[in-house]
């Protein structure tokens, strides 16, 4: 979509907020490393101002993106995130 609407001066970015201390955590305490909603929004808006194609909401997301599509680390990443998802469902969080 970004390039379909480029000539109409409509800019489209993809953004992820990162780990943000927000209502999504429900009754589970967010990790200490979680940023505030203000920090997340500030980073996303800065990316929009700079017309970034992909906006990563926090440093861990930006670091993880470096090897996100590297087939040499895919299996390890899949196992890690599957473990995190399972522990979140059980009410614990691992970081």
Instruction: Give the pLDDT confidence of 27-67 residue by residue, as tens digits.
Output: 889 888 899 999 999 999 999 999 999 999 888 888 888 87
Nearest 5°: the CA angle 15, 20, 21 is: 155
% of the chain beyond a pLDDT of 70 = 98
Residue with tokens 């993809």: 14
Instruction: Summarize the confidence of residues 73-90 as an average pLDDT.
Output: 87
Which of the four pLDDT bands, split at 50, 70 and 90, describes residue 75? confident
Write down the pLDDT at residue 52.
94
* CA-wise closest residue to 15 among 60, 63, 48, 37: 48
Q: Which pTM was predicted?
A: 0.67
């Amino acid at each position: 979509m970004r390039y379909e609407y480029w000539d109409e001066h409509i800019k489209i970015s993809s953004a992820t907020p990162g780990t943000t201390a927000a209502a999504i955590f429900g009754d589970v305490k967010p990790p200490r490393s979680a940023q505030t909603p203000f920090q997340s929004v500030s980073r996303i808006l800065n990316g929009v101002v700079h017309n970034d194609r992909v906006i990563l909401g926090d440093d861990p997301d930006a670091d993880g993106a470096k090897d996100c599509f590297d087939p040499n680390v895919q299996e390890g990443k899949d196992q890690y995130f599957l473990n995190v998802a399972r522990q979140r469902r059980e009410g614990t969080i691992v970081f």
